[in-house]
Structure formats: C-alpha cells, structure tokens
Structure 1
C-alpha cells in the first residue's frame, strides 16, 4: 500500500483529509512542474526560478495554517530524470494540542536518475499536548541526489510553555535503488524532552540529510561546528547526517542553512540560493 493510500484509509477520522501530488520534468531550458493534483487544503503557488537557470522552486501551501488531531496530510513528489526541484513552505508548520486524536503527515519523495530534490520546509512548531505521526520516505535512483531537513520547535518557550505532555512519532526512511540505507524513528514525549539522553530541555531540534555527500563535505561541516555544543555531524556510507539542539529555532535554522551552503555546491554544483519567501 502506498503512503497516499495509507492516508486515504484514515478518511473515517474526523478532520481535514488532504493530499498533494507533484511531478517535475526537465526540458532543455528548465525544470517544469508538469503535474499538480490536490484534494483538500493542500496546494502550491506558481513555480519560481530565482536561480535563473532552470531549478524549479515551489512553495507548498496549507491554508488552515495548522494541523489538529484527526487531520491527515499526504504529499507525493516525483522528480523525473534530470529534473531539479527545491520545495519549501511560506511559513512555519504547526501541530496543535489534541484532545486525543492523532494527526498524521506523510511525505513520499521519488527521485529518478540524475535528478535532484531539495526538501527544505520551514520549521514545524509542535504545541504541548499535540499527538502526531510524521513519515518522510525518500526513494532514490542510482544517480539521484537529495538534500532535506526537518527542524522542530517543541512547545512555545516565548510563552514559558515546554512539552510536559504530548507525543511526536517521527520517521525518516531513505531508500537507494529500493534498498534501505537509512531508517530512523524518533519518539518525543515529555520524558525524552527533559532527559539528558534526549533533548535535555532544548526546545529546538533538527536533522539535515544529504546524499551522496563526499568526505570533503563532512570535513567542511565538522570545521563549521568546531567546539559548538549541541551540534553534530556524521557520514554513514555516503549519507551525511547533521543534527542540532538549541534554545532558539531561528539560530538552529541559520546553522542548517550554513550546512546547506556547504553541501549544495559539492553535491549539486550550485551555490546556495535561498528561496525569497524565507526573507519575508
């Protein structure tokens, strides 16, 4: 059963049931968004080309502005051979407090030969008391390239709200030629939020993935981190995994943007070009 079908199975649960299917194809001049099919409150703005030479920047919109218990959102991205898409969001995502129902978000990204996808949504705010499951599955062809991140803010520290109750069940699955190369499940609850082996009370956490990443990128990111606490990077085969903890989401995001600026030229032969929406 596909991830989108899994989302459809939950249609009996009260809440928004939304899906978005995107497909990108390369032409001699640029990457085009050749398919955009949506059901419910998920859509995209028109594509942008700020890099001037063919990379397709797309912003995913969720008009309700947040996800509550019982909502189920499914996003599918298909990047055909030689295409290059950068996908982000115009604002932070939000998972609100739940009275018991679980919210679900499922993302499936397929990257064909010599294609590239950059999955760079803005941060996700997980309110105290939220109950959610998030799955990101990436399927890579032999010569595909992928950079993606997930940046989370738990509770609302500016309002002196921590994460004393709630549950975030987070999955990342990366497959290379249909074989798993990175599988991770992270469960964040009040205990994990406070524990020394968990988030140690830090309200912001995040992970960046890049593949295929070189040893030179690893060394460059290690140099960027230096002795900074709450930062780490490793390379598992050719998958670079960078993690961070912080008291401020904006500081953590700035760090990941710096890492992206290191790995992008090495992997994609392009300097970092921040989507204009990030500056608004």
Structure 2
C-alpha cells in the first residue's frame, strides 16, 4: 500500500473552499469575467481571450489534491449573450482516505443566448479514496453547453488498481427547470471489476452537448466507429457521448476530437483548444 500523501496528513479536518464566477457580455461582443468571489484554496488565473470575444478561464486548486473531509464548491454563471470556456491547468486528484468523504459540487447556470464550455482535465481517484461529486447544469431556453467529465480510477501506470474506495458521481441537467438528464453512478471495487461495470478499465468519461442535431450525432458516430467501449446518443436535443479506456489521457484526447467536431455547430465557432492542453 502506498504512503499517505503529505497533503492528506496536513489537513485532517479538510479544507472548505468555494469559487463563484460570473461572465457578462459587453456591447462590443467581448465576454468579461465580471464577477469573481472565492474563499479557501480555489482561484482562477487571469482570463484569456485567444479567440476574440470568448473568455477562457483556468480554475486553480493550489493544494494539488483533495483529501478526506475536503469540501469544494464551484458556481459558474453565464449571463445573456456571454461566451466562456472554463478548464483546469492539470488533472485533479482525490487522495485515499480512511475517514470522511471528500466532496465536490459544481453548479453551472447558462442564461438565454449564453454559451458555456465546462472542460476540466481528467480527475484521478486514488485507490482507497472516498469521493462524492455532484454537477448541476441549469439551461435556459436558447442556452448552449458543451461539457465533459473524465475520471481515472487508480493509477495504472504505477501498478495501482481500484481494490478499495468509492466514487459517487451525480449529474443533473435541467432545461427551464425541467429535468433533461439525471444520473447517479456509484463506482466501487465491484463495479470496477465486473463485466456489467467497467471490466477493469481505469478510465471512464461522459461528454455533453446542447443543443445538438441528428447530423451532429452522425458526425460523432463516425468518430466512434466500431470501437466497443465508446458510444453516443441523442435525447431531446442533448447529445451524450460515453467512453471507457485503459488510460484517462487517451479518453480525454478522444473527447477533444469530439469537442472540436461539435463546437462549430453547437457554439457557432471553430475549435480553439486552450493552450494549457498542449503542455
């Protein structure tokens, strides 16, 4: 069994951290980070505008990992007409725990005519971690959304599987207050190994796009091809692409291809990958 990371030992009672971001469009068509509040170890770097009007922001978690008892809360609001892309500079990490759950909640609110892309790099859940993660997306009529979640269970490159621990993933996407997508997923060592579960695949992920069309569904089907661990569906305008892989970085690179193919139609602009993805 690996040693307890220093970060875990240093904060037995857990961090409490929150971040609130609000994006607003200007008269010139440029989106600004108009509102920013935080407490505890959550922050953002200086906003970028690499493609003109769209505001790119990187969310930072300086401790580098989440441990037992930590509670992280992120809220992002895109005002009418705003266009923003939010990502992270590195993979997130949840360290192993013999104590309380580590909790993370994300709430995204997208106003009419606004466009928000929620594209964090992958999250690594160490063997023995106990995680509860919730993501809520509140879409208003005319809103546009592209987002994903990529999870790695254990550290295959270090010879670590997922023989202990639990990760609870809770997603809800509403359109005008009505549920469009609901999912509650609990991953433990049995689900990790089982044929009905991950079949030992260390990485899993889901990508969402709204609003999407049948033509865009066909585009993603072309990228999926006949690979059995990838799939895509379209439900009431919400495109859902899911995947399993032995490696989270490989799965995220596939999702980047899907994102690049969908972005012109969903967001009305060509793909402009954040520079941090190339480092």
SS in 1 for 2:250: helix
Distance 1:230 1:142 in 2: 33
| Residue 36 of structure 2 is aligned to residue 36 of structure 1 | yes
Which residue pairs with 1:146 in the alignment? Answer: 145
SS in 2 for 1:229: coil
The TM-score, its normalising length taken from structure 1, stands at 0.94
1:100, CA displacement in angstroms?
A: 2.1
1:224, CA displacement in angstroms?
A: 1.0
Which residue pairs with 1:49 in the alignment? Answer: 49
TM-superposition CA deviations, 1:228-266 (whole Å, max 9, x none): 121000011110000011111121111100110111111
Distance 2:27 2:257 in 1: 31
Which residue pairs with 1:111 in the alignment? Answer: 110
Which residue pairs with 1:217 in the alignment? Answer: 216
Unaligned runs of 5+ in 1: 1-12
Which residue pairs with 1:159 in the alignment? Answer: 158
SS in 2 for 1:200: coil
Matches within 5 A, 1:1-280: 14-29=13-28, 30-51=30-51, 53-280=52-279
1:199, CA displacement in angstroms?
A: 0.5
Distance 1:211 1:268 in 2: 9
Distance 1:150 1:76 in 2: 16
Distance 1:104 1:244 in 2: 24
SS in 2 for 1:136: strand
SS in 1 for 2:133: strand
Superposition CA RMSD, Å: 0.9
Moved more, 35-44 or 224-233: 224-233
Distance 1:253 1:275 in 2: 14
Distance 1:236 1:195 in 2: 28
Unaligned runs of 5+ in 2: 1-11
1:208, CA displacement in angstroms?
A: 0.2
Distance 1:211 1:54 in 2: 20
TM-superposition CA deviations, 1:128-167 (whole Å, max 9, x none): 0000100000001100011110001110101111000100
1:99, CA displacement in angstroms?
A: 1.3
The TM-score, its normalising length taken from structure 2, stands at 0.94
SS in 1 for 2:260: helix
Distance 1:83 1:177 in 2: 18
Distance 1:189 1:165 in 2: 7
Which runs of structure 1 show a deviation greater than 3 angstroms over 4 or more consecutive aligned residues? none
Moved more, 260-269 or 134-143: 260-269
SS in 1 for 2:106: strand
TM-superposition CA deviations, 1:184-238 (whole Å, max 9, x none): 0110000000011110000111000111111111000001111112100001111
Distance 1:40 1:178 in 2: 31
How many aligned positions are there? 267
Distance 1:191 1:147 in 2: 31
